[in-house]
A and B are shown apart, each in its own frame.
Chain A
Amino acid sequence: MNNIIELCYCNGSVLVWNVEDAHRLRSEHRIVGHFIGCLPSLPRQDQMLGLPMELMTEEVFHLVTRGIAKIVEFKQLNLPAEEHHKQKREDMLKASFSDQQVIFKEERIRQLMQMADKIIEGKRRKTNGIVDGELVLQEEMKKIPQMSEDLMMIQIFTRPFWTCEGDVADYSINQTLRCRVFSDLWEKGYYITAGEKFGGDFLVYPGDPFKFHSHYIAVCVDEHQLLTPYFLIQKGRLGTNVKKTVLLCSVNGNGEIMYQSLNWNGK
């Protein structure tokens, strides 16, 4: 597959609205993102979230510079709907309702057939005579009511039901230290997620975060930044408390990424 993945720029966030794209980003490109929507089937819980998937700036930078993805913006979604879309939606709803009607009837007939013996038996007892089984069933089938439109299902679309062309987004990313560290760690084969909840820049996983604990907390520091003892103690303590190694990441004069790990021996 070499088609470029479209990332949707929407009110300051970069989102993925397509499950296939989210899957590809994860399995082919080791980009895991972060789901922020409610899961359609179980929306009132926080264990697992649903589409859209939001990407960090560094993930976006990584994907765009490698030509894996491009950023688009769907400006037309801000505009009032076009007439032929309205028409299409009404037609779709009508077609869906009549299909649901047919399937509902089929289902009822299926249930009726399962009960056929009992129904005929019952009729026989009532009339005390011989009745035509076929005829009884025909009668019963005629009695099946129409499905009320109120009971029919209406779909709430995740994405627009018409094909939507994205415009080039007015969005650019500067190559920050964080971006360079992200890409370098990625090159080394790691999975990377945001590290704010551990007080660092990134969390670095040896494999898919679904299955593995993270090994490192990456903290980006400028090469010339003077590190105070406070800073080192803070990060050292943090690392030991959460059983992870703190990595201080910086770029040296030759543009190489340098990593220093903190090892905490004290009590």
Chain B
Amino acid sequence: MLSAKELLDLRSRKAHPRNLPTMPPKDFIPTHSAEETATINAIVDEKMTYLKEERAERRNLLTKADWLPQEKVAKIEKKLGGGWDVYGFDKNGKTYLQPEEALFLIELSKLELWYSGTPVSVQQAYQILLVDELCSSLKYRVYSHLCRQGYRLVRRLLFGSSAAEPSDYDCIPHFLASTSASVLIQFSDLESLPESIRNRESTYVVNKKDFLHFCVDREEVATSISSASTTNPLFSGKTKPLLLGNYIGDPYYTNDGLYNPTDEELNQTEDDDLQICYDVYSPGRHFRKSNPGPPCFALAIAEWSSNVPSLSCLERFKRRCGPKTVPLVAVSGAGSDVSFYQLKGVVSPL
């Protein structure tokens, strides 16, 4: 327990955070001289003073949340301090946090998480939140690694993937057939819409002229789809759908004869090692959780010891990402940092 004096010192220090310790250049061969030993001890001692620091925050900046083990989320009482555009999800007017968000906010000294009537320590939070069925330690390591660098990570919801589902195209025949100037669109899966929109409307009237105008702009892109994908009836009309984007504009797919998995292979989703865990958005102030837009990366997480995924598995992973989203695999394990691998189709130079 920090004394009141230490707490108030910490408060004034927060305004002027000190820099990280500077590290002297590394050497190749130890000389075991007294001077060298002293240098090393000094480095270690300095690092330890940083590690020894405790967390504290002013009461009017520290948000309180209640951990609900049954629901597997933390319910926020009142949002204090900044940053709430990024964390949590809203439901029925309340904001909830996923386990990894709660733990990361605790580590940032922004959140006091209460469990059964008392706030938890960081150690207890690691124990109750990083359970495999909530968020594995491995996942959290990748999550916190990217969050520390400013990226925004949003859990990929299992029911709504950003790749187009057949039902997304329900409206397209209407566009082609209807002679009226506007078309009513009914979304078949409201769950996959952002909450803010869901509450307001569930149907949209789209002005047909706008839509076609948009299509004309993109005609060039749309027509570059390979013959392999034109077997899809949606592509037989004059107007090409915009949403089926995974392979639009990607030269890898326009060259026939590369890897062309069968539909069966692509539709099999069970037992895939590479499941998309997070949508990753680049750092910046423009991120809004109510309307995040297309993510920069779709992230799957693997362990160093896991097997290399099959080509069809990689392909499925790639196609499950949206058109503008880069598929990314993060790998980590005990004792090591996080490494990233980006999946990219390459066109042969000939």
Contacts and interface: CB of A to CB of B under 8 A. Distances in A.
Interface of A: 8, 10-15, 17, 19, 22-23, 26-27, 33-48, 50-52, 54-57, 59, 74, 77-78, 80-81, 85-86, 89, 92, 96, 99-100, 102-104, 107, 149-161, 193-194, 196-197, 206-208, 210-213, 215
Contacts of A107: 8
A153 B304 contact: no
A46 B145 contact: yes
Interface of B: 1-5, 7-8, 10-11, 13, 17-18, 20-21, 23-24, 26-30, 36, 39-41, 43-44, 47-48, 50-60, 62, 104, 106-109, 112, 115-119, 121-124, 126-128, 130-132, 136-137, 141, 144-145, 148-150, 304, 333-337, 339
Given A152-B58, A211-B43, A213-B28, A37 B107 contact: yes
Contact of B137 (A12, A44, A158): A12
B334 A194 contact: yes
A56 B5 CA distance: 38
Contacts, number: 228
A42 B304 CA distance: 29
A43 B3 contact: no
Contacts of B334: 13-14, 34, 54-57, 194
Nearest to A81: B118
A139 B75 CA distance: 47
A251 B129 CA distance: 41
Interface of A is mostly: mixed
A194 B336 contact: yes
Given A11-B131, A11-B137, A161 B121 contact: yes
A233 to B, nearest CB: 19
Given A156-B56, A210-B23, A8 B30 contact: no
Given A99-B5, A153-B58, 18 more contacts: A22-B51, A36-B141, A38-B108, A38-B144, A40-B53, A40-B109, A44-B148, A52-B126, A80-B115, A89-B119, A100-B7, A104-B8, A153-B56, A156-B57, A156-B62, A156-B121, A197-B339, A206-B29
